[in-house]
């Protein structure tokens, strides 16, 4: 039994993973699930405009996310504060408020976002290889790369590719058992199965699928029992010729406290990364989004957005949504000035987050009293090597640059050197309180 609030929290978590942060904050803040039964759900918005936008743009995503949370297909109705529900819904709402409980029945479901396909994915220099690998896996599950491990920063398209794989497989093999979930959901379900004495049911659920798509695997770090369970799930699927696709915000070697046997299995197949889109790709993404949403935005406005939002695709698309909404609400044409006004808070926040490796090198060299050029030199003395490792660690943590790019800036070093530096400093961070204070001082300089 789960409360409406609890279910809606799970639904919102799923939604937040599939749309830009700014869109989520703009359109889903203060929404509530006020009624739910086996065939329908009622979601309350703050006002009529928000209701209209949610109904027009996000209804399918809401229904898919509810499906993911409770394993039931329901039709969703959006209402707004003050709007009168019909007598049936009003009675059900009253009943729901009284008991606030809904029976949960969660069979194996794929929980895929049907809008995330290969056709809607915009290919650029930063994701070309990952796209090709994902398509190869979708066309021949367990024959091409198994597992496929996709890594990169938040909002760069990893989840889109995973959904695209699942959707492609189901389109060409409708009877295939395809399951998409986050590692956090895997962990929670595993814990619940132990509590309810249903571990065998849990194992049957995830070891009898054709394609397992598991997102954000880095959250298994430190969860020994869940790692043990996933290890056996992985082995069972792999031995039976089933496809496994994994995503993470970092490489397996960079995930702390990940068991070596899991790490090695993640590296069995193909590892491929996604990096932030360049200007041309950002413009192409915006054009694609305008086509999908049937929104007309002048070219100069689109270029302004692409030039000022660099961090990731979610924020880029969120900026587009904000501009469209701002122009509609204020009844103004989308001139560069209006776009600038609509994005003023977002652009400031993005600029503040856009840390560079050069910034980090300057702060680290100043803190340790060495010349900045020495960080990229061939010198291996401890007084140079240690600050270099710290700078590499911070570059990996605070920027969106790929491992090869970081290695290149630090004197053309191999990406494995960056991984080694990150592992070494991560260990020090977890063990040495004095060093943690050092790191805080350097980060203060950066901020």
Annotated binding site for ATP: 155, 157-159
Residues facing 274 on adjacent strands: 152
Residues facing 149 on adjacent strands: 246, 271
Structure token digits, residue 436: 């943690």
SS3 265: helix
End-to-end CA distance of the chain: 46
Burial zone of 84 (CB within 10 Å; 0-12 exposed, 13-18 middle, 19+ buried): exposed
Residues facing 344 on adjacent strands: none
Q: Could you tell me which residues come within 8 angstroms of residue 102 by beta carbon, excluding any fewer than 6 positions away? A: 1, 2, 3, 4, 7, 36, 37, 70, 96
Structure token digits, residue 338: 């209006």
DSSP letter, residue 121: P
Burial zone of 386 (CB within 10 Å; 0-12 exposed, 13-18 middle, 19+ buried): middle
- Cα 440 from Cα 438, distance rounded (Å): 5
- Cα 77 from Cα 422, distance rounded (Å): 49
- To the nearest 10°, the Cα dihedral for 48, 54, 60, 66? -90
How far lies 9's CA from each of 22, 31, 65, 108, in Å?
18, 10, 11, 20
- Cα 185 from Cα 207, distance rounded (Å): 16
Count of helices and strands (H, E) across the chain: 21, 8
- Cα 5 from Cα 11, distance rounded (Å): 10
How far lies 30's CA from each of 19, 249, 272, 376, in Å?
17, 29, 38, 49
């Amino acid at each position: 039994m789960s409360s409406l609030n609890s279910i809606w929290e799970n639904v919102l978590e799923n939604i937040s993973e599939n749309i830009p942060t700014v869109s989520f904050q703009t359109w889903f803040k203060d929404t509530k699930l006020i009624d739910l039964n086996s065939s329908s759900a009622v979601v309350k918005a703050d006002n009529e405009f928000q209701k209209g936008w949610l109904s027009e743009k996000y209804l399918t995503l809401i229904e898919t996310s509810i499906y993911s949370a409770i394993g039931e297909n329901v039709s969703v109705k959006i209402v707004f504060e003050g709007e009168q529900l019909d007598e049936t819904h009003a009675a059900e709402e009253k009943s729901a408020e009284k008991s606030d409980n809904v029976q949960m029945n969660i069979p194996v479901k794929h929980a895929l976002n049907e809008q995330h396909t290969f056709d809607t994915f915009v290919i650029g220099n930063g994701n070309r290889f990952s796209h090709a690998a994902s398509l190869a896996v979708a066309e021949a599950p367990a024959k091409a790369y198994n597992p496929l491990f996709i890594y990169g920063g938040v909002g760069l398209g990893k989840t889109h590719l995973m959904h695209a794989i699942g959707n492609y497989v189901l389109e060409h093999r409708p009877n295939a058992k395809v399951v998409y979930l986050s590692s956090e959901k895997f962990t929670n379900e595993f814990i619940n199965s132990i509590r309810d004495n249903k571990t065998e049911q849990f194992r049957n659920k995830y070891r009898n699928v054709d394609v397992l798509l598991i997102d954000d695997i880095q959250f298994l770090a430190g969860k020994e029992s869940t790692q043990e369970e996933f290890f056996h799930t992985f082995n069972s699927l792999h031995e039976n010729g089933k496809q496994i696709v994994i995503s993470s915000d970092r490489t397996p070697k960079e995930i702390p406290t990940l068991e070596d046997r899991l790490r090695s299995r993640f590296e069995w197949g193909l590892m491929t990364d996604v990096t932030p889109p360049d200007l041309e790709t950002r413009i192409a993404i915006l054009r694609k989004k305008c086509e999908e949403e049937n929104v007309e935005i002048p070219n100069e406005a689109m270029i302004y957005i692409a030039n000022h939002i660099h961090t990731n695709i979610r924020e880029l698309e969120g900026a587009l949504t904000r501009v469209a909404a701002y122009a509609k609400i204020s009844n103004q044409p989308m001139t560069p000035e209006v776009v600038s006004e609509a994005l003023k808070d977002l652009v400031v926040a993005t600029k503040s987050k856009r840390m560079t490796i050069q910034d980090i090198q300057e702060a680290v060299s100043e803190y340790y009293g060495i010349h900045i050029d020495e960080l990229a030199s061939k010198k291996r003395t401890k007084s140079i090597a240690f600050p270099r490792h710290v700078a590499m660690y911070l570059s990996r943590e605070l920027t969106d640059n790929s491992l090869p790019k970081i290695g290149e800036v630090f004197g053309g070093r191999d990406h494995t050197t960056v991984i080694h530096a990150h592992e070494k400093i991560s260990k020090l961070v977890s063990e040495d309180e004095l060093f943690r204070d050092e790191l805080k001082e350097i980060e203060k300089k950066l901020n």
